[in-house]
Amino acid sequence: MSGPQCCSNPPTLDAASGAGHVENLAGFNTYVSGSLQSKFAILLVPDVFGYEAPNLRKLADKVAAAGFYVVAPDFFYGEPYDPDKPDRPIVEWLKDHGPAKGFEDAKLIVDALKSKGFSSIGAAGFCWGAKVVVELSKVPLIQAAVMLHPSFVTMDDMKSVKVPTAILGAEIDQRSPPELVKQFDEILKVNSVDSFTKIFPKCSHGWSVRYDVNDPTAAGCANEAHKDMLEWFTKYLN
């Protein structure tokens, strides 16, 4: 179950943020950045705060600037988790927006990307989104995966992963503590799946997208994670 860290430090959502634009993709409002002329596509699967988080869109723009076509769909149908709604606690919210539903929706997005001509697709999942990405990695419907401060992901999940996977974890993380992240990596290595694991010291769950842009230390850690993610996709999408 999702814990307090998954819901802490919520971003101020901004539907107008980012250098890209919102369009309909497979029936979902989707933030899109990059050129259709790119050879490779990246699907960003957000945490519970959804696709209007400015830092997520900033990351999409950064990845697009490196030559990828990037999509970040609204998997929550206009209802991201809102901690200011006490009548809609995370446990209740997840009944309507569980990762299993996210996986089914993500398959539609991947199909839509393939219909646009993208044959090599990577996916990055943040917190909630990591569970969606690990499911895509089992089938597999993608060619490379990155999980950042994952939630809901289990060791049994990792046993079925079939694509190169990077796991970026936080030192301070109740959802996926460093010990669990290391176990994930060990499973991938036993199964001869290319992997990369990194624990970010002094960082907490959600640090890669829920950081204060005015905090140089926090922003620096987030940028390092973004760099690692980008290098992983550059290496395995071809």
> Which residues form the catalytic set?
127, 173, 205
Tokens 């999409």 belong to: 60
Strands of the 120-126 sheet, one edge to the other:
21-25, 28-33, 69-73, 40-45, 120-126, 144-148, 165-172, 195-204
What is the C-alpha to C-alpha distance for residues 211 and 216, in angstroms, rounded to an integer? 10
The Cα–Cα gap between 168 and 215 comes to 20
Q: Is 14 exposed, middle or buried (0-12, 13-18, 19+ CB in 10 A)?
A: exposed
Q: What is the dihedral angle through the alpha carbons of 154, 73, 59, 128, rounded to the nearest 10 degrees?
A: -20
Of 105, 144, 107, which Cα lies nearest the Cα of 124? Answer: 144
Name the token pair of 43: 């699907």
DSSP lists the bridge partners of residue 40 as 120
- What tokens does 164 get? 């190169």
Q: What 3-state class would DSSP assign to 201?
A: strand
Nearest to 131, CA basis, from 102, 156, 105, 170:
102
